Structure 1
Amino acid sequence: MVFPDVFARALTRASGPQSLPAAAEELARVGVPVFPCIPGGKRPLTEHGFHDATTDADRVAAWWTRSPGANIGVPTGAPSGMVVVDVDVHGPVDGFRGFSRAHRADLLDGWQLLVSTPSGGMHAYYRSTPGQVQRSWQAARAGIDFRGDGGYIVVPPSRMSIAGNVVGYRARRVEAGTSSVLDSDRLRDFLDPRPTVREPMNTAQRQGADVSRLARWVAGRAEGERNRSLFWAACRLAENGLPTSDALDVLGAAASDAGLGEQEIIATIRSAYRAAHPDRDASASSVQASAPPEAGTWFVRDPAASGPSNTRVL
C-alpha cells in the first residue's frame, strides 16, 4: 500500500505531459498497483480486471508496449490504500449538489487529491480506513458513487472521447499534510437515507401497520440502487416474521415499478430471507411467479446499521 501523499504527487505528475506508458510505469514504481483499460474507455483489458493490477515493472511495461494508448486503472480500497468519492454529472443529475450538502455536514473533510474527470465531474481521493473493509456503493439519485474495496478508478493522464473531443483526467488540487479517513457508511446514509426506523411489532400490530412508505421507497429507487434496496426491505420483513410469499405481495409491485424483472424480484427476496434466517430453509416458503397484488400493510424496522470548495471550478 502506497502512502497517500506519494499517490497524490504521482497522479499530479501524471497530469502533465507524460505519456500513458510512462505514467503507468511511474505509478507502479512508487507502489501504486495499475492495470490497463481500453483506449478512451474504462473497461479493463486484462482477463481478471482490477484483480490483475500489479506494481511489477516488467508486467506493466509489457501491457503498455502491447497497447500504448491504454488508459490506466487503479484498484480502490485496500490494494491501493485510497478510496474515491466519484461525483457524476449526467443530464439533470448534478453530483456537485450532493457533494456540497455532504461537505457542509462535515462528512467529506480530509481529502488528499481532487481530480477533474472528462465528463465534468470530479474524483475526491481519501486514505482508506486501515483494517476496515469499505465496500463500493452507488447513490444514483445524488449523483455520487463511492469507489472502495471491490472497485477501481481510471486515473490521469487517461483520456476519454466526449462529444467528439478527447478530454483527459487531470489533477487539480492536492491537499498538503496528512489526509483523513472517510466514514463511507455515514456518507451513504446521508446521501441515500433509508425509511424511518420503528420499534419491533408484534403480530397484531403488524396486521394494522402501514407499509406504503416502504413500498414507495423501493418503487422510487433508481438504476444501480434497486436490487440492494429490495434486498434490504425484504430482510426487514423476514426479521419480523412474514412468510416469503407475503414479502412478494408487499414488495413485488413496488420492485416491478422500479424496473426489476419478476425473476430477479423472486431471487432477491429469497436471498434476503436466507440472509435474515441462515438457520432456516427459505425455499420452504413458496414464492409464486404470478404478478404480485398491490402492496399490503406491514412496515418494519432496520434493527442495526451494518474540505474542498463547494463549486465546480477548483
Structure 2
Amino acid sequence: MRSNIREQAMARPDHTRALHAALLTAARGLPVIPLSRTKLPAVRSPHRDEPRSAAMCRGECGRPGHGVYDATTDPERIRALFAVAPWATGYGVACGRGPLHLIGLDLDVKHGADGVGALQALADTHRFTVPATVTVLTPSGGRHLWLTAPGPVPNSAGRLGPGIDVRGEGGYVVGPGSRTVAGRYLLAPGSADLPLAAAPPQLLRLAAPPPSPYDHEPRHAAGPRHPAEKRAAALVRFVLDSREGERNGRLFWAACRAYDAGLGDALAPALVTAAVHTGLSEREAAATVASAGRLRAAPHA
C-alpha cells in the first residue's frame, strides 16, 4: 500500500501534464485514453476476476478498463478515466476511429533501423510526397507522423520498410506530453499548429493488407478472416488456456511470438487482459509483456 502511495505521489506532476495534453489532443477530434509508464492502458480491466468469456468485452458493460475501446473525446469522460488511474503518466491516441481515421507512422531509428530514411525511399520509389503534419518525437530518437485516411487502415510492423510501423485500426500512438519509462514524447518544433495531413493515396495502397488466400473463401458468421487476425486470436486463446504454474511462461511465449509477427504493440493490451483473467496481477502481466518486447527489440549477436 505504501509503495502505491509513493508511486502515485511521484507520478502526480506527470499525471497532471498528461491529462492536460490529452484534453488538448481530444479537442482536435482525436479520442484518447490514459497510459501507464509502460505505455499500456492505465485503467485496469473490470473483468480481471470474472470468467474468461468476459475478456471479449469491448466496453459493452459500461465500465472503464477496456484499453483502446475506452478512448473518447469527451472532456468529462477523459477526466474520469484519469481520476481512476492516478498512476497514469501519459495518454494514447486511438487510431482508425472515424471521422478522421488517424494513422500513426512510427519511424524507428534504433537498433540499426532508419525508419525516416526508409519512408523517404518509399516515397521516392512510389512517387509521393511525405506531407508536413503533426510530428511527435519519441525518447529513442524516432518520430511519429500523424496522418488521416478516408477509412480504417490495418496495423503493421516493418511491412512498408525497415523501421516503419503503422498504427491503424485498433491501435494507438503515445501522445505528446506523455512520460514513459523510456522518457518523454514531445511535439516536434513547428508541428504543433499544423493541420493533420491526409495520407497520400499511394501510401494507403501500400499500407492495405496483402492479399490473403482466404479472400476467395466464403465468409463465416464469426471468426477472423485475415491470417494476422487468426494468429492474434490464437495467441490470446493460448494465454487464456493457461493453468496455474504455467501462466507467466505461456504469456511470455505468446508475447514473444506477437512481437516476432509485428503484432506486439497492438496485441499487448489483449494479452495482458487475458493473463489477468487467468489469475496473474495486471502489474506482473504487463511486466512480462514488456520484457518480451525488450527481448525482441534487442540486437542479436
TM-score norm. by structure 2 comes to 0.51
Question: Contact between 2:33 and 2:92, CA under 8 Å: does it hold in 1?
Answer: yes
Q: Quote the residue 1:151 is aligned against.
A: 171
Q: Quote the residue 1:264 is aligned against.
A: none
Q: Which amino acid aligns with 2:217?
A: H
Out of 277, 280, 296, the residue aligned to residue 217 of structure 2 is: 277
Q: Which deviates more from structure 2 when the two are superposed, residues 153-162 or residues 103-112?
A: 103-112
Q: Quote the residue 1:37 is aligned against.
A: 35
Whole-Å separation in 2 of the counterparts to 1:178 and 1:53: 19
Output the aligned Cα RMSD: 3.2
Question: Contact between 2:134 and 2:187, CA under 8 Å: does it hold in 1?
Answer: yes
Per-residue Cα deviation, 1:38-58 (whole angstroms, up to 9, x for no partner): 1x2221134221111112222
Q: Which amino acid aligns with 2:131?
A: G
Whole-Å separation in 2 of the counterparts to 1:180 and 1:30: 15
Q: Quote the residue 1:8 is aligned against.
A: none
Q: Quote the residue 1:54 is aligned against.
A: 72
Question: Contact between 2:153 and 2:207, CA under 8 Å: does it hold in 1?
Answer: no
Out of 83, 87, 94, the residue aligned to residue 107 of structure 2 is: 87
Q: Would the alpha carbon gap of residues 158 and 137 (structure 1) be closer, same or farther in structure 2, given more than 3 Å must change? A: same
Question: Contact between 2:22 and 2:175, CA under 8 Å: does it hold in 1?
Answer: no
Question: Contact between 1:33 and 1:79, CA under 8 Å: does it hold in 2?
Answer: no
Q: Which has the higher helix share?
A: 2
Per-residue Cα deviation, 1:235-283 (whole angstroms, up to 9, x for no partner): 2xxxxxxxxxxxxxxxxxxxxxxxxxxxxxxxxxxxx4xx433289xxx
Q: Quote the residue 2:122 is aligned against.
A: 102
Q: Would the alpha carbon gap of residues 74 and 178 (structure 1) be closer, same or farther in structure 2, given more than 3 Å must change? A: closer
Q: Quote the residue 1:21 is aligned against.
A: 19
Q: Does 1:75 align with 2:94?
A: yes
Q: Quote the residue 2:46 is aligned against.
A: none
Question: Contact between 2:147 and 2:196, CA under 8 Å: does it hold in 1?
Answer: no
Question: Contact between 2:154 and 2:207, CA under 8 Å: does it hold in 1?
Answer: no
Q: Does 1:171 align with 2:171?
A: no
Unaligned runs of 5+ in 1: 1-17, 190-227, 236-271, 281-314
Deviation of 1:111 after TM superposition, in Å, equals 3.7
Whole-Å separation in 1 of the counterparts to 2:141 and 2:153: 26
Question: Contact between 2:42 and 2:85, CA under 8 Å: does it hold in 1?
Answer: no
Unaligned runs of 5+ in 2: 1-15, 44-64, 221-301
Question: Contact between 1:33 and 1:80, CA under 8 Å: does it hold in 2?
Answer: no
Q: Quote the residue 1:138 is aligned against.
A: 157
Question: Contact between 2:71 and 2:93, CA under 8 Å: does it hold in 1?
Answer: yes
Q: Would the alpha carbon gap of residues 279 and 145 (structure 1) be closer, same or farther in structure 2, given more than 3 Å must change? A: closer
Question: Contact between 2:176 and 2:185, CA under 8 Å: does it hold in 1?
Answer: yes
Question: Contact between 1:76 and 1:147, CA under 8 Å: does it hold in 2?
Answer: yes
SS of the aligned residue for 1:19 comes to helix
Q: Which amino acid aligns with 1:32?
A: L
Identity, % of aligned pairs?
29
Whole-Å separation in 2 of the counterparts to 1:33 and 1:178: 14
Q: Which amino acid aligns with 1:53?
A: A
Deviation of 1:146 after TM superposition, in Å, equals 1.2
Whole-Å separation in 2 of the counterparts to 1:279 and 1:52: 29
Per-residue Cα deviation, 1:22-66 (whole angstroms, up to 9, x for no partner): 22233334533111111x222113422111111222221122233
Whole-Å separation in 2 of the counterparts to 1:180 and 1:79: 14
Whole-Å separation in 2 of the counterparts to 1:45 and 1:158: 13
- In the alignment of these two chains, the number of paired residues is 179
Deviation of 1:108 after TM superposition, in Å, equals 4.5
Per-residue Cα deviation, 1:131-169 (whole angstroms, up to 9, x for no partner): x3322222255111112222211101011223xxxx211
Tell me which structure has the larger Cα radius of gyration.
1
Whole-Å separation in 2 of the counterparts to 1:178 and 1:59: 24
Whole-Å separation in 2 of the counterparts to 1:142 and 1:177: 27
Q: Which amino acid aligns with 1:126?
A: L
